[in-house]
Structure formats: structure tokens, C-alpha cells
């Protein structure tokens, strides 16, 4: 009898453990975050622009404007803007990521594959942007695990709200399910408008920014994903090669290009350069923006989003007015605020007065 009771007790424990295990699995499956459907409103937008959930997608992000765009391929092979999401948080300053621990959000062209999607993220959902890429490695840049994620908390990542990342994740999942092998992500310091380029013309990163602007221009004129090669420690856009390409070695001869797209890129660059020169002649002063620790889209101002380091977001960046050699002008000058991009109209809109002129040394962030 005692043996029977022991066997019954052991069987009960086994069944209880099995039920617990099943319950844990059910709880994980029932959360359904990574399998949440694309919202009906977004599906309607896809239909409106002539695309489907299975069609390829492309991402463009802008730090200064704190905006995150999803583009979808139409039936004619060209991309159309699907949605612009206000970014809840990004950290650091304008400029590329250089090393581990600098809290910088990277800038450049990156590749996202299905293996980089993380359905079990501690930040609701996330995916790795692919930093460092071959360009970063050729320049000995360090660091990694740069994510787009939820929770609105950033220490070097692109941070969205939980509903935003759930939707973005679902759009990416369906594009991968539709056969897309990799998603291109274009990360920029700001929208490459003539106004922004004129204002940032003396920034130490301007040569790099003009380099990745060439990639932006390829996309703008063709609305197709630009081919990206990295050789001689530079980005080369709109080119293909039948030979192996080494990011640190000279670019191979005989690169293949689309002459029509290249002509349109040259024409656009010439027009943009002319517009910048006109703005400079009209008195647009060079500035440097100094952030306490990154930024946040104005759509979140005064809201209860649980952003990390909210004190760093309270006043936005301070504008440092520069002379023509790039040195800070004496304190006390007042500056107009940089134009805020209106995601609804697609144009820049002027906002109120900017932050007062301040000493650059006093505002330069300490090393991480």
C-alpha cells in the first residue's frame, strides 16, 4: 500500500510538473509579440500605395528629426513611403559611432537579415541593425549589438514605443516571409536638405555625411534600393563588381553602373550644391548642435512615455554658432531653431527660437 501511495504521489508530481511546463509554454506562445499581425490601418495604407505585406521593405532613419521611415516596394519595383514613425529616443550626438561605449547611434548603410530579429528581447521586440559593417570594420570602429527596439530607452540604439516596434517587427517579418533576404537600413544624421547641409557645412563629419548623401541621392532619384560597395575605406553607391571587393583595398576596375541613374544623381547633387551656396550667400550661419544625450521626436514632448534619461531631453540640443573657420563665436548670440521636418507634408517647417549661444567647451560631452 505504501509503495502504491508512493507511486501515485510520484505520478501526481510528474503530471503536475508536466502541467506547469505546458503552462509556461502556453504563456510564452500566448504573448504573441513576434507574431502580432500588421494593424488593419497599415494594411490599408499598403493597399493605397500599391504594395503588399509580402513585398520588400527598406528603412530610413534621421537622428536630428528623430524620425524612422518604412518604405515598401510597389509592383513596378520602385519604393514608396509607407509610414513615418516619430522616434521615441536615440542617444549620443550627430555623427557616426566610433567605438564601444561611446553611446553613439551609427550612421551609414546597414543590412538586416532574419537572423538579426530578436523575438525574445528584454526591450519588448528588437532587431540588430548590423553595426559594424565592412566600412566600420575597415576604419577599426568597435562596438556592436546596436538595436532598434521598444521600451523607449536608449544607450546607443534606436528606441521606439512598444506599439511602434510591434508594427515595424511585423512588417519586417512579413517581408522576410515573402522572400526578402535582407533589409537595407539607411541611417542619417539629418534629412539631407540644402538647409541642413548649409548649417552643418563646417562639422568635422561633413565629408562622411556628403559620402552617405550620395547613397541617399541614388535612392531619391530612382526609388530603388541602391547597390552598396565598400572599398578603399569608402562607400561606393550604385555600383556592382564581378570581382571580390575588399573594404580596405582599392576599388576594382570595371565597376558596373546604371548610366541613367548616375546622370540623375549628378544633376541632383549639382542642384543641391547650388542651393547650399545660395543659402550661405544669404547669410545662413554654420552651427554645431550639442545634445545632452541624444534626442526625441517633438511628438513625445510633455507625454508620459517612460524615456531613459528624460533630463537629457528637456530642452533639446544647444546650437553653437560658428565663424567661417569653424570656431565658436562669443556667447550671447541668439539663433533660429533648425527647421523641423513635417512628416505629414514632407517639407521643413520653421519652429521658434533656438537655444542660446553657449561655450562649446562647456557643452562638449564628457568621454563615456
Residue 258's pLDDT band (boundaries 50, 70, 90)?
very high
**Prediction pTM value:** 0.82
CATH assignment of 40-281, among 2.40.440.10, 3.90.1150.10, 3.40.605.10, 1.10.10.60 = 2.40.440.10
Domain ranges of the chain: 40-281
| pLDDT above 80: residue 169 | yes
Residue 313's pLDDT band (boundaries 50, 70, 90)?
low
DSSP 353: B
pLDDT digits (tens, 9 = 90+) for 58-108: 999 999 999 999 999 999 999 999 999 999 999 999 999 999 999 999 999
Catalytic residue among 103, 149, 200, 218: 149
Q: Is the separation of the CB atoms in 67 and 61 below 8 Å?
A: yes
How far the first Cα of the chain sits from its last, in Å, is: 69
Picking from 225, 192, 231, 272, the residue whose alpha carbon sits closest to that of residue 112 is 225
User: In Å, how far are 8, 120, 172, 177, 345 from 28, measured between CA atoms?
Assistant: 30, 10, 21, 22, 41
Picking from 122, 62, 60, the residue whose alpha carbon sits closest to that of residue 294 is 62
Catalytic residue among 88, 103, 152, 157: 157
**Averaged over 231-244, what is the pLDDT?**
97
157 is catalytic: yes
Element housing 280 (H / E): helix 259-281
149 is catalytic: yes
Amino acid at each position: 500500500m505504501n509503495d502504491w501511495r508512493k507511486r501515485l504521489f510520484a505520478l501526481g508530481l510528474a503530471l503536475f510538473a508536466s502541467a506547469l511546463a505546458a503552462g509556461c509554454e502556453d504563456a510564452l506562445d500566448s504573448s504573441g509579440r513576434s507574431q502580432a499581425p500588421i494593424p488593419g490601418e497599415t494594411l490599408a495604407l499598403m493597399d493605397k500605395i500599391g504594395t503588399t505585406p509580402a513585398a520588400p521593405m527598406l528603412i530610413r532613419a534621421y537622428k536630428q528629426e528623430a524620425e524612422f521611415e518604412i518604405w515598401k516596394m510597389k509592383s513596378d519595383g520602385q519604393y514608396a513611403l509607407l509610414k513615418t514613425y516619430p522616434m521615441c529616443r536615440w542617444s549620443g550626438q550627430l555623427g557616426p559611432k566610433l567605438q564601444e561605449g561611446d553611446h553613439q547611434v551609427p550612421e551609414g548603410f546597414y543590412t538586416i537579415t532574419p537572423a538579426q530579429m530578436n523575438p525574445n528581447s528584454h526591450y519588448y521586440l528588437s532587431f540588430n541593425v548590423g553595426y559594424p559593417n565592412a566600412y566600420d570594420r575597415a576604419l577599426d570602429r568597435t562596438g556592436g549589438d546596436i538595436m532598434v527596439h521598444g521600451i523607449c530607452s536608449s544607450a546607443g540604439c534606436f528606441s521606439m514605443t512598444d506599439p511602434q516596434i510591434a508594427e515595424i517587427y511585423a512588417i519586417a517579418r512579413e517581408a522576410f516571409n515573402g522572400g526578402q533576404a535582407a533589409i537595407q537600413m539607411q541611417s542619417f544624421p539629418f534629412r539631407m536638405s540644402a538647409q541642413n547641409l548649409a548649417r552643418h557645412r563646417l562639422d568635422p563629419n561633413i565629408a562622411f555625411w556628403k559620402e552617405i548623401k550620395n547613397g541617399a541621392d541614388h535612392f531619391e532619384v530612382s526609388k530603388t534600393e541602391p547597390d552598396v560597395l565598400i572599398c578603399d575605406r569608402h562607400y561606393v553607391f550604385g555600383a556592382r563588381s564581378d570581382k571580390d571587393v575588399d573594404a580596405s583595398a582599392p576599388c576594382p576596375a570595371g565597376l558596373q553602373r546604371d548610366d541613367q541613374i548616375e546622370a540623375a544623381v549628378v544633376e541632383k547633387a549639382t542642384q543641391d550644391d547650388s542651393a547650399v551656396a545660395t543659402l550661405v550667400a544669404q547669410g545662413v550661419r554654420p552651427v554645431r548642435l550639442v545634445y545632452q544625450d541624444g534626442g526625441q521626436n517633438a511628438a513625445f514632448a510633455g507625454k508620459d512615455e517612460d524615456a531613459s534619461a528624460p533630463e537629457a531631453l528637456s530642452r533639446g540640443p544647444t546650437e553653437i554658432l560658428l565663424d567661417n573657420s569653424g570656431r565658436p563665436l562669443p556667447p550671447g548670440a541668439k539663433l533660429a531653431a533648425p527647421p523641423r521636418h513635417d512628416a505629414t507634408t514632407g517639407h521643413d517647417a520653421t519652429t521658434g527660437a533656438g537655444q542660446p549661444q553657449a561655450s562649446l567647451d562647456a557643452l562638449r560631452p564628457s568621454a563615456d
